[in-house]
Structure 1
Amino acid sequence: MNLWRRMITGVLCLIFLFSLFTPVHAKADDSETAYVDVAVATLWVEPGITRSIDSPSLSNPVDLWTWTKSMSYEEKLWLVGNLETQALYGTKVTILEKQGDWVKVAVHGQPTPRHSLGYPGWMPIHQLTKGTAFSQFQSKPFAQIIKPTAWLYHDPNSRKRFIEISFATRLPVISTTKHAVKVMTPSDGAKWLKREDVQIFRTEADIPTPTGEDVVRTAKQFLGLPYLWAGTSGFGFDCSGFTHTIYKAHGITIPRDSSVQAQFGLPVSEKDLQPGDLLFFAYDQGKGRVHHVGMYIGNGKMIHSPNSSSTVRIDDYRAPGYGEEFAGARRYIQR
């Protein structure tokens, strides 16, 4: 079962590595790496295009709840086309370009034909750290957050909060107690997590191969979470960030964008749909460009994060607004 998962990931990596669509970055030697040093880093299409209302997402530390809850619908809608993706605390990135206080990075673990190293976008440089000590712990077992969000603490008794981090964040484990896990952070040394907020794995390959019901159960944790364009965290998801992150938490790496997710995995006919399969929707009555993805949960329903005016919710995938744009399904889990 784990072999199947590793094969999918390996094939994706090879395809993207040799993709003809990989752009050339004249200012990069693809050798300078760093780690995300905030709970969630937001990547932008260009440097310096942010608004004053975006300040909580640009600081270190960030305040994602203040940012997302302060925006009106129109202000959230403005993000469409201006954001690229997000990267979780401790994620490794490669620095591609520098421009003033901004850097263009490729996010490792987010496959895309846009760059062989990972999903590209611009972010403030002060949200990164070289993580020299942190990098030495990368071969250690890791603790993965299993709650929508969880707090890191300065102490094992969970009395003094440090920062709130997202679902699917992975941090190297230093030691454990009955009720707490000591982890290494990118730039602030050792901190603590509640044992109930994490699962510990020796390597990603040791994450149990999920059933379709497993990924659906995980997805349902986020019902009611407001949509965020480019979101990949428990503070807000877009449609493909939702499916990408849920699968990633179960040890399966799939492409970051819906249009690319629709090109891989195993094609599935409607009559053979099973929970956990991904459903795709396209312009021009389902024959054009794929623009949306949801996860099938059974009984003609899907769970998805649809748009800036909505939340993670369950809908009939053949309902008006979706049914006429249905473009097929893909399976990323071995049955």
Structure 2
Amino acid sequence: MQYGICNLSIVPLRKEATDTSELVSQVLYGDIFKILEQRKNWSKIRLAFDSYEGWIDNKQYLETTEEQYKYLHKETPKLCIDLVEFIQDTNQQLHPIVLGSTLNALSILNHSHDGNIVEGKAPKENIIQSAFLYLNAPYLWGGKTPFGIDCSGFTQMVYKLNGYKLLRDASQQATQGEALSFIEESEPGDLAFFDNNEGVITHVGIIMKDNYIIHAHGKVRIDRLDHSGIYNVDKKMHTHKLRVIKKVI
């Protein structure tokens, strides 16, 4: 088994081994992964954080050792809490990184960083504060950054910043935590899941107080939440049908 680490800010993770393939997620600076298959230009990887798989360009990561991978995997993540920051290499060149990037491998990569860092588990009330960091970020299928993010990437990154692991897709996240019977039982920071006409869970958002929800739909936005689902305050209509509320923390 071979191992890799992302040494660039935002690297696309694709469904197939081609630049034109669907973006299924993004690999952020400091993310580590197992290399499942290598081709001339592409590698299929499995991310350590959430076991998500996809294809990454061979020019956009560095190989690392099994020992380094295991060491980094067991470490408590140290995360960039700035919207945009820079790391510096041994040639004094600056490289941009974004909110939620992992900084545990700075010494392995011979990089330095003097921005703000967060690590460890935070109180549940911090979830909404972290969610506001992504407010108005444009929707991007497969995105995980303030410059483009999808609904489950948004919830995953917000929880990650507070020391909690969510899986990558909304349908996967819906398998985590404890189901609540009513909205009235929920607290700010709980997750609400929504399904389509076929009953497939396709959307997730973070519950706020007073029956509001913050979620990525066109952009990261705040709407009303009721027993039917999400009521879009701009369109004055329901846009998502409520399936289940889960308490993960």
CA RMSD of aligned residues (A): 2.4
Measured in 1, the distance between the counterparts of 2:96 and 2:47 equals 21
Q: 1:238 and 1:45 mapped to 2: Cα distance?
A: 16
Once residues 184 and 123 of structure 1 are traced to their aligned partners in structure 2, the CA distance between those partners, rounded to angstroms, is: 23
Give the alignment of 1:200-279 within 5 angstroms: 201=119, 207-211=120-124, 213-268=125-180, 269-279=182-192
Q: C-alpha displacement at 1:98, in angstroms?
A: 2.1
After TM superposition, the structure 1 = structure 2 runs for residues 159-170 of structure 1, keeping only pairs within 5 Å, are 162-170=94-102
**Larger RCO (alpha carbons 8 Å, 6+ apart):** 1
Distance 1:98 1:132, change over 3 A: closer
C-alpha deviation, 1:185, in angstroms: 5.4
Residue 122 in 1 paired to residue 55 in 2? Answer: yes
Deviation at 1:128, TM superposition (A): 1.4
Unaligned runs of 5+ in 2: 232-236
> Is structure 2 residue 103 aligned with structure 1 residue 171?
yes
Question: Residue 89 of structure 1 aligns with which residue?
Answer: 29
Q: Give the corresponding residue for 2:224.
A: 316
Pairwise CA distance, 1:165? 0.7
Please state how far the C-alpha of 1:131 moved relative to its aligned partner.
3.4
* Counterpart in the other structure of 1:144: 79
* Percent sequence identity over aligned pairs: 27
Q: Report Cα offsets for 1:48-76 as digits up to 9, x if no partner.
A: 242xxxxxxxxxxxxxxxxxxxxxxxxxx
Structure 1 unaligned regions, length at least 5: 1-30, 51-78, 111-117, 174-182, 202-206
Aligned letter for 1:326? L
Counterpart of 2:194? 281
- Write the letter of the residue equivalent to 1:169: S
Tell me how far 1:106 sits from its aligned partner. Answer: 0.8
Higher helix share: 1
- Does the alignment pair 1:295 with 2:230? no
Change (3 A) 1:256 1:142: closer
Deviation at 1:192, TM superposition (A): 2.3
Q: Structure 1 residues 190 and 38, CA, compared in 2 at 3 Å: closer, same or farther?
A: closer
TM-score normalized with structure 2 length: 0.85
Assess if the C-alpha contact under 8 Å between 2:160 and 2:166 holds in 1.
Answer: yes
Highest Rg: 1 or 2? Answer: 1
In the alignment, residue 243 of structure 2 is paired with which amino acid? A
TM-score, normalised to structure 1, is: 0.65
Partner of 1:24: none
Q: If each structure's strand is expressed as a fraction of its own residues, which one has the higher value? A: 2
Shift of residue 148, structure 1, vs aligned partner: 2.2
Residue 39 of structure 1 and its aligned partner are, at CA, apart by: 0.9
2:56 maps to 1:109: no
